[in-house]
Amino acid sequence: MTSAEIARIYEQYGFVIFGRCRRILHSEDDARDALQVVFLRLLECGSMLRDPERVVSWIYRTAQNHCFNVLRDRKKFDTGVDPDELARDPDSEQRLDARQIINLALGCHDRRVREAVYFTYVEELGQEEIRKITGQSPATIRRNLRKFDRSLLELRKRLGDG
């Protein structure tokens, strides 16, 4: 692969990788680091590069997996809130926004629930699109979303939120 070909692949797909990484990591610097890793992995993909939709699907899945691993390794689910402290302080005016609640709940679930939740609520994709990216059937996606919704309800009750 020549430098020109590598540059062309970057110009086509770089924004897709960076966009996914920035959504999860909430940091331009971290997203740039993740872009480097995921882009170099993309270059290894050989013949898959001839199928653009497969490439985009691969990027969605790989960027998400990589970035969640980064977050987990750094023990950094960006809540800005200690849920146990909040529960002890009934007068606290702090309220969790949707992103913080998702991050809290995601720490408790497996990869498949996390994927269903992330692509549904953060990327706002349809179930058929999620199926293409993750391989989960629409029924499995719905089941995993229900699992997450139940845990979210329990968490809200515990925090006295909503």
Structure tokens at 125: 């994709």
Nearest residue to 68 via CA among 15, 16, 122: 122
Decide if residue 27 touches other proteins (CB under 8 A): no
Decide if residue 73 touches other proteins (CB under 8 A): no
How far is residue 141's CA from residue 138's CA, in Å, rounded to a whole number?
5
C-alpha distance from residue 128 to each of 77, 132, 148 (Å): 28, 6, 19
How far is residue 148's CA from residue 41's CA, in Å, rounded to a whole number?
31
The only residue of 23, 26, 27, 37 in contact with other proteins, by rule CB under 8 A: 37
b/e map of 136-151 (b: 16 or more CB within 10 Å)? beeebbeebbebbeeb
Minimum CB–partner distance for residue 26 and other proteins (Å): 17
* Cβ atoms within 10 Å of 1's Cβ, excluding its own: 10
Decide if residue 90 touches other proteins (CB under 8 A): no
Decide if residue 111 touches other proteins (CB under 8 A): no
Minimum CB–partner distance for residue 117 and other proteins (Å): 17
Decide if residue 55 touches other proteins (CB under 8 A): yes
Minimum CB–partner distance for residue 58 and other proteins (Å): 10
Decide if residue 68 touches other proteins (CB under 8 A): no
The only residue of 47, 88, 90, 91 in contact with other proteins, by rule CB under 8 A: 47
**List of residues contacting other proteins (CB under 8 A):** 1-2, 6-7, 10-16, 18-19, 32, 35-37, 39-41, 43-47, 52-53, 55-57, 60, 125-126, 128-129, 132-133
